[in-house]
Amino acid sequence: MELLPVIRLFWRRRFLLLAGTIAAIACAVGISGGKLAHSESGLAWTQVALDTPQSELIHTRPSGADTLAWRASLVTHLMATDEATSEIARTLHLPPGQVTVIDAGLAVPRVPASAPHIAAEAAAIVYSPYVITVSMHYSSLPVVSIEAAAPDRADASRLAQAAVHAMEARGSRGGTYSSPVVTDGRPRLQPFVIGRIAPVHVTTVIATKPPVKAVGAACFVWMLSWGAVLLLPRLARAFRTRRTVLPIA
pLDDT digits (tens, 9 = 90+) for 106-157: 666 566 666 655 555 555 566 789 999 999 988 889 999 999 999 999 999 9
Contacts of 209 (CB under 8 A, 6+ apart): 36, 37, 38, 39
| Spatial distance between the Cα atoms of 51 and 8, rounded to a whole number of angstroms | 76
Q: How far apart are CA 118 and CA 123, in angstroms?
A: 9
For residue 27, give every residue at least 6 positions away whose Cβ sits within 8 Å of its Cβ, in sequence order, or none. 214, 217, 218, 221
Predicted local distance difference test score (pLDDT) of residue 246:
47
pLDDT digits 0-9 by tens, 1-33 = 466 776 777 777 777 778 778 877 777 777 766
So what's the pLDDT on residue 1?
47
Among 4-8, 160-164, 217-221, top mean pLDDT goes to: 160-164
CB 101 within 8 A of CB 87: no
The pLDDT score that the predictor gives to residue 166 is: 93
To the nearest whole percent, how much of the chain has pLDDT over 90? 31
> Which pLDDT score is estimated for 247?
53
At 226 the three-state DSSP class reads helix
Global pTM reads: 0.65
Provide the 3-class DSSP secondary structure of residue 28: helix
Q: Which residues of 68-90 are buried (b: 16+ CB within 10 A; e: fewer)?
A: bbebbbebbebbbeeebbebbbe
